[in-house]
Structure 1
Amino acid sequence: MIQKVRARMIPLLGLSAVLACSSVVQAAQPPAPALHDDNPSGNFGDWYTGAVPPQASNGKPVILFVQGLHSNYNTWLKTDGYYEAAYKAGYRTAFVQLKDADGTGGDMWTNGPKLAEVIKKVANYYGVSQINIIAHSKGGIDTQAALLHYGAAPYVNVVHQLSTPNKGSELADMAYSDWTSWLADILGKKDDAVYSLQTSYMANFRTQTDSKPGVSATKTYMSGGEGDDGWFTAYWFAHAVLPGEDDGAVSVASALGLPYGIKSFTKNISHSAMTTASQTWSLVQPKLALGKTTVAAAALQEENLSAAPQAAPAVSENSSFIMKGGSLAKGSAKEVFPLESGLGTISLDVLTAKETTQVTLTSPSGKKIPLNPAKSAEKDDAVLFSDAVHHTLTLENPEKGNWTLELSGEGDAYFMLARPEGRVKGQIKNARKQYKQGENAQIAVSFDGAGKLEDTQAKKAKLTRSGGKGIAKSLQQAGEVNLQTAKNEVLLNFKAPTEPGVYNISFDINGVNERQEPFTRSVNYNFAVTDEAGKVQ
């Protein structure tokens, strides 16, 4: 097509048209990567090699791109993507298909060994001893598994992570909470990949991984985003849940949470924009490097060890929300919750699986407010609940008293996240993420601005096992909880289950503020119980 355009324009515009069309040719997308079809029955394990640029040289490293949660290698092939940028910069490239490319996501123990195989194949294909890896999101965790658990570390000298949840994601915790579990089931958000991203599961992965010899032999750069795509998109919901600064999918504290990693950059962009070349390639490219000789590699490891303590500090988990959720199996549901006076605003996001589900909020004075579905944002598979229907509302100076949320619909489920902006602020403090079987455990939740806390709702705390079958059980009914309340703090003492796995404890805290007005806030605590070998199932 370009040649035909040039043929018509040359008689009219002369040499200037030739030069203009030549620039168009140079700006075109690079040739499509070539498939190495190692899995004829699926995508998992396939890999691709990019076209070799005319200006490629042995003076530049080979780059293997590893995509993230629920993604495939097309992550890197988009317009203004990393393949285009790397090709134009003269790099030889390769791409991998992990289990996520076949539908449901795989955990690091599934993706890691396959990625290790592909790393060796790529190095052998290009005839190099070591390659560089650029990994987006969960792809950075799969890369750590490949290097440190499945023997690929000698073949990789530089890894650059793009917003990798090194400490897990509170969004994954939420997928297994008592409030959201029904909706997550309908949306199909519970798979091995999401399970492995729960914060307690990742704490155990860090325990298993970070103590391994040679963790710093590969220089690992970390980066994180601090932006989202605006109010009441899927990113806003994630932004509300995640602690501290985040990119709408991964908190900065998690992205910079690799103890031996080296901070590369943070930028005010969203999670998906981290793989946009015009946004981040110029920040990543200077970190790419050729493999080292044996002597230089030893010096590099020493350098990495001295540069490593740059991880972000821990951030307390937020408990300043009101959360409700459940099934619409009977066609309708009603939730009642109090709001105290003095709130500047309250923002609500009611998630459902179907647009046809009707959602109405009724004020204490009887005013009915319909919550209509928000305009659909671009779906991002790396953001949990991005494909849910978001019914949104923000109220300024909301009326005090009992508010009622009513839903009607068939074959659906719902989850309400409300964020009141007022004096009462809740935080889970210094919570442990791992316990031994049957060990005594404790959660401390503080509430600044609270007058007096009541323990009746907290005593109804429900324990759910992530990935387990059956309904949540009440810890109080099982006689497994001892609750203590002070003026502005709740201590929940309980005994860890005897069955290894990942668990969530979900409960509400009720209280009265200094004006003797009732308020409520919700708490979800994610923790793991390890087996005798110190691992999580």
Structure 2
Amino acid sequence: MVKKAGILLLVAILLLPLQVYAGSFGKGDTSGTPGQWYVGLTPTDVDSSKSPVVFVHGLNSSSHTWWKDNDMYQIAYNHGFETAFINLYPTKNMWDNGKLLAEKLKQIYEYFGEELVVVAHSKGGIDAQSALVHYQASPYVDRLITLSTPHHGSQLADLAYSSWAGWLADILGSKNPAVYSLQTGYMNNFRSQTDSHANVYKDPIFTFGGTGWGTFGTSLYWGGLYLSSYGANDGAVTVANSRLPYAQEVKVADWNHSEIRLGSSTFRLFDQYLYENQTVTAYKTLAEPMDRQKHQTSPPTDRYYRGGTYKGSTSENFAVENHVTEATVNWISERENTELTLIGPDGNKHSSFEVTPASSKIFQGAYHHSIQLNQPAKGEWTLQAASPEEHYLLSVHYQSPVNQDLDLTVNKNMEVSILAQHQQTIDQNKVKADIRLDYYKKGKQKTKSLKWNDLNGSSSKKLAKLGEGTYNLTINLKGITKANVPFNRTIVTSVYIDSNGRVIK
């Protein structure tokens, strides 16, 4: 009874501009104040065996994500679970959010008087694990459930910080500490600090992953297409990156990154883990081998990027080599109504672009203008664009045998190699590369550029180490196939160098 009566007092203490009603509370809080947390309405018949559930949001989001256009809160309430919802910093990294969340989990634990189950979407799962492992929140939590959490980072974050797309992410407000920390290189460092920590086995972790990113023209399609070279994904996070070697994977299904957080999608699959007396098998025995879908570390070699700013009109050219079976052209910008005309080497014009808002939190506010070409003619293509003023990123995705001949690797000495061991379709003596290295030190960007004009007899190129931190590499390739047809590619990746000068992989 004291707990039920305490809800109104808690609301008053937190100065919430709302009333607490099942399924509708919190709708007056439009922004989400970091550190503010809400308690859901107490079910009429609380089962003491059911743990209180704390829901944690992801990148560029707030507690709203659990009840606005989402039935997760309502379903949890209907099933008799007490709930709490926390607002974290929407654009800060896992260290800032982990510290804040740990403080609030202690408060929520003291309010309910029992251990909590944390359910986290996307980056919220990283923030939650940071709180448990690095900020001593483990005593307040019984277990953690993550819904499409990029435990190993997101290759979309690497793209956001690349030389071609970084400025676009900046314009759209997506260049921030949260996105920076989601680069795969940065997350390699986080994993090295976390997975070996003494606290990592104290709270069982249960993971979910999604494989649905829709059909051509849907909002998550482009993210899914970009990530497809890394394996199955939900349009924002790959299945491989949603896994941890010491966690139990509950389910991978045909959810996209937004659907996986819906109560109607996943609640019935994890509600069995929300009970206090639920027996959890010894932590390590829950692990399922990650080799069911090998965690790919090599970045994709099937893309070409260009970007910039213009007023009035501009054009970009790209090559299509022989034996390309399909090419997807995607123009990303802040403009919804750009006039685009694609002209093939045969003079034929294409203007039927699908326009969809970007659903990725990393390019939030942008629009995708996409067109798919089947059996495109080989040679030079031109994309003409017209708009009063526009910032853009052009992406071309190729299905081609050339992709198999390219393989970017970065070793522990920061030596970069570009070619696969054996080339079937390209002339390695005619491949040239421009390499740009972007590095941030104390918030300030440092850039190094170099040319790799002749790969003949040169298997690697050593890059400079500028200090501890994340290094984003953008490599632009030009070459000739053995059929004497030009090709272009852009390869993007990131690595982390620790304080001892070691590359963390």
TM (norm. structure 2) is: 0.86
Kindly provide the amino acid, as one letter, of the partner of residue 33 in structure 2: N
What is residue 432 of structure 2 aligned with on the other side?
A: 457
Are the aligned partners of 1:466 and 1:504 in contact in 2 as well (CA < 8 Å)?
no
SS in 2 for 1:215: coil
Distance 1:397 1:66 in 2: 45
What is residue 526 of structure 1 aligned with on the other side?
A: 494
What is residue 88 of structure 2 aligned with on the other side?
A: 98
Give the Å deviation of 1:181. 1.6
1:508 to 443, 451, 476: 476
**1:406-465: CA deviation from partner (whole Å, max 9, x where unpaired):** 3343442211111222322248758458x6xxx44334442864231355531x211222
Correspondence 1:336 to 2:317: yes
What is residue 326 of structure 1 aligned with on the other side?
A: 307
Give the Å deviation of 1:86. 0.8
Which moved further from structure 2: 386-395 or 143-152?
386-395
Gaps of 5+ in 2: 1-20
1:306 to 278, 285, 290: 285
What is residue 362 of structure 1 aligned with on the other side?
A: 343
What is residue 449 of structure 2 aligned with on the other side?
A: 474
1:71–1:238 Cα change, 3 Å = same
Distance 2:437 2:207 in 1: 35
What is residue 277 of structure 1 aligned with on the other side?
A: 263
Kindly provide the amino acid, as one letter, of the partner of residue 202 in structure 1: M
Which moved further from structure 2: 266-275 or 410-419?
410-419
2:210 to 225, 233, 251: 225
Kindly provide the amino acid, as one letter, of the partner of residue 114 in structure 1: L
Kindly provide the amino acid, as one letter, of the partner of residue 233 in structure 2: D
Kindly provide the amino acid, as one letter, of the partner of residue 415 in structure 2: A
What is residue 498 of structure 1 aligned with on the other side?
A: 466
Distance 1:34 1:188 in 2: 25
Percent identical pairs in the alignment equals 33
Distance 1:485 1:261 in 2: 45
**1:1-43: CA deviation from partner (whole Å, max 9, x where unpaired):** xxxxxxxxxxxxxxxxxxxxxxxxxxxx8254479x9xxx970
1:391–1:375 Cα change, 3 Å = closer
Are the aligned partners of 2:302 and 2:399 in contact in 1 as well (CA < 8 Å)?
no
Give the Å deviation of 1:168. 0.1
What is residue 376 of structure 2 aligned with on the other side?
A: 398
Correspondence 1:30 to 2:34: no
Give the Å deviation of 1:76. 0.9
SS in 2 for 1:361: strand
Distance 2:423 2:65 in 1: 43
Matches within 5 A, 1:128-527: 128=114, 130-242=115-227, 243-256=230-243, 258-290=244-276, 303-311=282-290, 313-329=294-310, 331-370=312-351, 372=353, 374-377=354-357, 380=359, 383-426=361-404, 431=409, 439-446=413-420, 449-454=424-429, 457-458=432-433, 460-465=434-439, 472-476=447-451, 484-485=455-456, 491-527=459-495
Give the Å deviation of 1:388. 1.4
**1:283-304: CA deviation from partner (whole Å, max 9, x where unpaired):** 1112223179xxx9xxx6x810
1:291–1:196 Cα change, 3 Å = farther
Kindly provide the amino acid, as one letter, of the partner of residue 495 in structure 2: F
Are the aligned partners of 1:323 and 1:417 in contact in 2 as well (CA < 8 Å)?
yes
1:510–1:34 Cα change, 3 Å = closer
Are the aligned partners of 2:205 and 2:248 in contact in 1 as well (CA < 8 Å)?
yes
Kindly provide the amino acid, as one letter, of the partner of residue 380 in structure 2: N
Distance 2:45 2:397 in 1: 53
SS in 1 for 2:268: helix
Are the aligned partners of 2:52 and 2:81 in contact in 1 as well (CA < 8 Å)?
yes
**1:263-311: CA deviation from partner (whole Å, max 9, x where unpaired):** 111001101100112211111112223179xxx9xxx6x8102323533
Kindly provide the amino acid, as one letter, of the partner of residue 418 in structure 1: V
1:210–1:316 Cα change, 3 Å = closer
Distance 1:454 1:322 in 2: 21
Matches within 5 A, 1:89-128: 89-100=79-90, 105-128=91-114
Alpha-carbon RMSD = 2.9
What is residue 52 of structure 1 aligned with on the other side?
A: 42
Distance 2:445 2:408 in 1: 30
What is residue 19 of structure 1 aligned with on the other side?
A: none
Which moved further from structure 2: 414-423 or 184-193?
414-423
Distance 1:516 1:420 in 2: 18
Distance 2:310 2:468 in 1: 31
Distance 1:86 1:76 in 2: 11
**1:28-85: CA deviation from partner (whole Å, max 9, x where unpaired):** x8254479x9xxx970100000111112121111100001111111111135521111
The higher radius of gyration belongs to 1
Are the aligned partners of 1:61 and 1:291 in contact in 2 as well (CA < 8 Å)?
no
Give the Å deviation of 1:383. 3.4
Are the aligned partners of 1:462 and 1:474 in contact in 2 as well (CA < 8 Å)?
yes
SS in 2 for 1:461: strand
**1:190-232: CA deviation from partner (whole Å, max 9, x where unpaired):** 0111001000000000011111113111010111000013213
Give the Å deviation of 1:318. 4.5
1:376–1:444 Cα change, 3 Å = closer
**1:232-260: CA deviation from partner (whole Å, max 9, x where unpaired):** 3341111122110000010000001x222
Gaps of 5+ in 1: 1-28
Kindly provide the amino acid, as one letter, of the partner of residue 282 in structure 2: E
SS in 2 for 1:413: strand
Kindly provide the amino acid, as one letter, of the partner of residue 160 in structure 1: I
Which moved further from structure 2: 282-291 or 163-172?
282-291
Kindly provide the amino acid, as one letter, of the partner of residue 524 in structure 1: V
What is residue 72 of structure 1 aligned with on the other side?
A: 62
Are the aligned partners of 2:301 and 2:407 in contact in 1 as well (CA < 8 Å)?
no
TM (norm. structure 1) is: 0.81
Distance 1:255 1:427 in 2: 28
1:61 to 46, 51, 58: 51
SS in 2 for 1:58: coil
Are the aligned partners of 1:183 and 1:412 in contact in 2 as well (CA < 8 Å)?
no
Are the aligned partners of 2:429 and 2:454 in contact in 1 as well (CA < 8 Å)?
no
Give the Å deviation of 1:127. 1.3
